[in-house]
């Protein structure tokens, strides 16, 4: 009886684990349950740009279809497997704050998608901007803008299309 029970455990535990792992890989932690800028035609987050490349290459780089990861109802693309692995391990580090929406617009209570080519990393967080002027305004006064954007962001998210 004990042998049979152990054989059942040996079979069922890996099977159940294999079924649950994909669910944990695609479900964002509660802190990341915010809207992300996603192309409605392709499903790509931040227009297919590699979010890790902003940090490691200090430039906006398009990801490749060979290196993708699904998270927060979006497909994220990466330049290489190393960037993909870094994102999978710590998405909260590499995802743009406010889901890639412009923080200057969010501070004004408006949800405007940021342009992945207009970006800044401030205090180890990635921010995308709608215009060069918004990026300059943010760089000049980021603490005040971030405070207002963070306060307004929950309400702004309710106005965004799913």
In 3D space, the residue among 148, 125, 122, 123 whose CA is nearest the CA of residue 136 turns out to be 122
- Whether 17 maps to a domain, the answer reads no
- Whether 5 maps to a domain, the answer reads no
- Whether 146 maps to a domain, the answer reads yes
- Whether 87 maps to a domain, the answer reads yes
Model confidence, pTM: 0.79
- Whether 58 maps to a domain, the answer reads yes
Tell me which residue range forms the domain holding 39.
Answer: 32-157
- Whether 49 maps to a domain, the answer reads yes
Distances (CA, A) of 120 to 25, 62, 105: 28, 16, 15
- Whether 134 maps to a domain, the answer reads yes
- Whether 25 maps to a domain, the answer reads no
Domain count of the chain?
1
How does residue 28 score in pLDDT terms, banded at 50, 70 and 90? very low
Give the count of alpha carbons within 13 A of 145, CB side only: 20
Task: Encode pLDDT of 59-77 as tens digits.
Answer: 999 999 999 999 989 999 9
Q: Maximum distance among all alpha carbons in the chain?
A: 73
């Amino acid at each position: 009886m004990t042998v049979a029970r152990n054989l059942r455990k040996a079979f069922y535990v890996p099977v159940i684990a294999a079924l649950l792992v994909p669910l944990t890989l695609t479900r964002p932690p509660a802190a990341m349950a915010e809207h992300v800028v996603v192309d409605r035609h392709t499903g790509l987050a931040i227009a297919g740009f590699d979010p890790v490349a902003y940090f490691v290459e200090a430039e906006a780089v398009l990801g490749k279809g060979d290196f993708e990861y699904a998270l927060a109802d979006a497909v994220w693309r990466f330049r290489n497997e190393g960037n993909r692995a870094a994102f999978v391990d710590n998405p909260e580090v590499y995802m743009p704050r406010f889901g890639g929406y412009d923080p200057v617009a969010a501070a004004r209570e408006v949800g405007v998608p940021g342009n992945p080519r207009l970006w800044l990393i401030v205090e180890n967080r990635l921010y995308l901007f709608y215009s060069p002027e918004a990026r300059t305004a943010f760089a000049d006064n980021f603490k005040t803008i971030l405070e207002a954007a963070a306060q307004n962001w929950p309400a702004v998210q309710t106005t965004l299309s799913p």
